[in-house]
Every structure is written in C-alpha cells, then in structure tokens.
Amino acid sequence: DGKILQINNLTKHFKMGKGQLLQAVNDVTFHINKGETFGLVGESGCGKTTVGRTIMGLYDKTAGDVFYDGQNVHELDDKETFQFYRHMQMIFQDPYASLNPRSTVKEVIAEPMEVHDLYPNKNEQLDRVIELLEEVGLNRDHANRYPHEFSGGQRQRIGIARALALDPDFIIADEPISALDVSVQAQVVNLLKNLQEEKGLTFLFIAHDLSMVKQISDRIGVMYLGNLVELTSSGSLYDNPLHPYTQALLSAIPIPDPDIEDTRERIILEGELPSPINPPSGCVFRTRCPFAMDVCARVAPKWREVEKDHYVACHLYEDTLNETDRPDVHIK
Ligand code: SF4
C-alpha cells in the first residue's frame, strides 16, 4: 500500500519529580501516505512536537510502535539507526537556534554529508552544497557567510537545505514558519511545496495554526492534551468538523474575505488548558467542552471511524448514545 509511516498506539510519558508523570502523548494511531503532507495541529503542549521527536528517535517511546516503510524504528540497532535516519530529516521552528553560529553556511549544510562520509572528494561536496543552496533559492555567494548575516526566512532556507543534504524521503517540519514574518511564511511554504513535488517528499507538518495547515495538508490530525481527537482529509475537516475542539479551533479562524459576512456561531473555549501531569478523567476535553455529558467524565471516548476516512474520539458520535441525549453540535 501507499503508506510510508504507520504509528500504532504511540504513548510517551515523561517522568517528572515527585513520582509525577507528564502524559505528553497517549495512545496515538495514524498513518502517513507516501508523497502526502500530513498536518498535525493543536495548542502548544498538546503533544504534537513529542510525536514528531519520538518518530525521529530523539525520544524513546513509552509504548506503541512506529513503522517506517514497514520497519519498526525502535527495533533497529545503533548502526541500522544511523543509516535509517538518512531517510528522515527534521526542520525546526527556530532556524537560528538549530544552526551553529560559528559555522559558515557551507559548513552547516555539509555537516550531515561529513557525518555520513558521502563525499570523499571535497570539491564534489562543495558542488553539492551549492546545488542545495540554489534549490532553496540562495546561491554560491551565500556559502561562506555566517547564519547571523541572514534574515529569518533565509535562515529557514538554510535549515531546509541542510535537511535535504542527505536526500531524505520524509521530512518532519516542526512549526517551520511560526517564527517568521507573515510576509515570509507563504514563501517558505511555497518552497516546501515545490521541493515536495520535485523530489516526491512526504511531510509531517506540525503547527498550531489551522489556517496555514489547511493550505498545505492533504490530511490533518488534531491533538488535544496528548490525544488525537480527530483525523480526516483537509477538506472534510473544514467542511464537516466533528469534534467540538476542532469546531472551536475552526470558528476562531476569521473568514479571509472581508466582504463576506461572518455569520458562523463562535465556539469560545472557556477555562485553562489542563495540565498533562493531571489530565481530566474520561474525555480529556470535557473541562472545556460546551457539549460535555455525564458519560464524558466517566469514560474516555473511543477512537472511531464515523465516516469513511474520518476518525473522531467523542461520545457524541458513539452508536450507543441515545438520540435524545445528542446535542446539535454542527456549526455552519
Ligand atoms: Fe465533549 Fe464529551 Fe465529546 Fe469529550 S466526549 S468532546 S466532553 S462531548
């Protein structure tokens, strides 16, 4: 099949002081198809970055499995891991923090090639570095300069060139445009889109901004407090959001055309985001959910496919729920 990544029941808990457990990711299951962009969205602290880092092997998992091209990534030995992660690269939110300020751009981009000893001939290596610079819209004149000499958008381009240095198939982009000026964001998104087409890349695009994710993702997963709460195609998430949290996120996005009157019903989330150290019983969203019912405090909702390729974890969509108990949750 066309799957490149399959994540089954991934759980990641961090041990804190005093025997406390930070439940960063709970029982998350999804897959990513070859060549698609999968968007993972949610507020900061929802676990989306931890999912990305656990896939990358930067964190050990607590439970569950990650299969990449059929290979269980947590069963590789050190040597296999080293080779394996050539296929998977990461782009970070703050390009400056992820680039060594004392290295020239040329050195920054060549470093992964050096680590993997790809080019014994240094002239060939430099040619490749310049080729990569050109692929991201920079050029040979930038090679000997230092990261601090560049704007945020250019630094992100350098970060992208570095991520491409090993010719990966899969890129995890963790909030790659959140730190950039709005005017620059679209340029970087277009660059990523073009590179994806040229190279057949697959993206996991992690972001808190649903409007940006919508533009570039084929499918989207929404996370809340360590849990995946909804997953479907980009179009169906926007036309037919089922989970009250997704509905709230969407209702907060302004309609882009100022001439269209915004008649949508707003869902305002009340209360604070609970702590992942002490999450609510039952449904994790219940303390802020306008539709919470008694059952929501007692039982965690199951992850179910309620329409074709549309998954949601919410009691409102359980078959066993009485029709009379079911509030009208659809916003237009
Ligand atoms: Fe709201 Fe209950 Fe659905 Fe949770 S399970 S989102 S509390 S209605």
**Residue 329: is its pLDDT beyond 90?**
no
Q: SS3 for 205-216, per residue? A: EEECCHHHHHHH
Q: What is the mean pLDDT of residues 150-169?
A: 94
**Residue 330: is its pLDDT beyond 50?**
no
Ligand 1 atom, smallest distance to 329 CA: 8
**pLDDT level of residue 93 (50, 70, 90 thresholds):** confident
201 plus 298 within the same structural domain: yes
212 plus 297 within the same structural domain: yes
**pLDDT level of residue 87 (50, 70, 90 thresholds):** very high
Residue ranges making up the domain that contains 8: 3-87+168-325
What letters, b where the CB count within 10 A reaches 16 and e where it falls short, cover 155-164?
Answer: bbbbbbbbbb
**Residue 130: is its pLDDT beyond 80?**
yes
Token pair 């590179």 is found at: 195
What is the model's pLDDT at position 332? 34
308 plus 203 within the same structural domain: yes
Which backbone phi and psi does 59 adopt, to 5 degrees?
A: -120, 145
Helix (H) or strand (E) holding 230, with range, is strand 227-233
DSSP state of 75: G
**pLDDT level of residue 104 (50, 70, 90 thresholds):** very high
Q: Does 78 map to a domain?
A: yes
Residue 290 CA to ligand 1 center (angstroms) comes to 8
What is the model's pLDDT at position 328? 53
Instruction: Say how many domains are in the chain.
Output: 2
> pTM for the whole thing?
0.91
Residue 243 CA to ligand 1 center (angstroms) comes to 8
Alpha-carbon gap, residue 91 to 263, rounded angstroms: 38
Specify the residue with its C-alpha closest to ligand 1, atom 3.
314
What is the model's pLDDT at position 22? 95
* pLDDT tens digit sequence for 32-42: 999 999 999 99
250 and 267 Cβ atoms separated by less than 8 Å: no
The separation between CA 188 and the C-alpha centre of its own chain, rounded to angstroms, equals: 16
In whole angstroms, how large is the CA radius of gyration of the chain? Answer: 21
130 plus 63 within the same structural domain: no
Alpha-carbon gap, residue 193 to 203, rounded angstroms: 10
226 and 23 Cβ atoms separated by less than 8 Å: yes
What is the model's pLDDT at position 287? 95
Which CATH number covers residue 109? 1.20.1580.10
**Residue 266: is its pLDDT beyond 90?**
no
**Residue 15: is its pLDDT beyond 70?**
yes
**Residue 221: is its pLDDT beyond 50?**
yes
Angle at 183 (CA atoms; ends 179, 185), nearest 5 degrees: 45
186 plus 268 within the same structural domain: yes
Residue 291 CA to ligand 1 center (angstroms) comes to 6
Which backbone phi and psi does 269 adopt, to 5 degrees?
A: -85, 125
Give percent of the chain with pLDDT exceeding 90: 71
Domain boundary among 146, 167, 188: 167
Mode of pairing for the β-strands spanning 21-33 and 63-68: unpaired
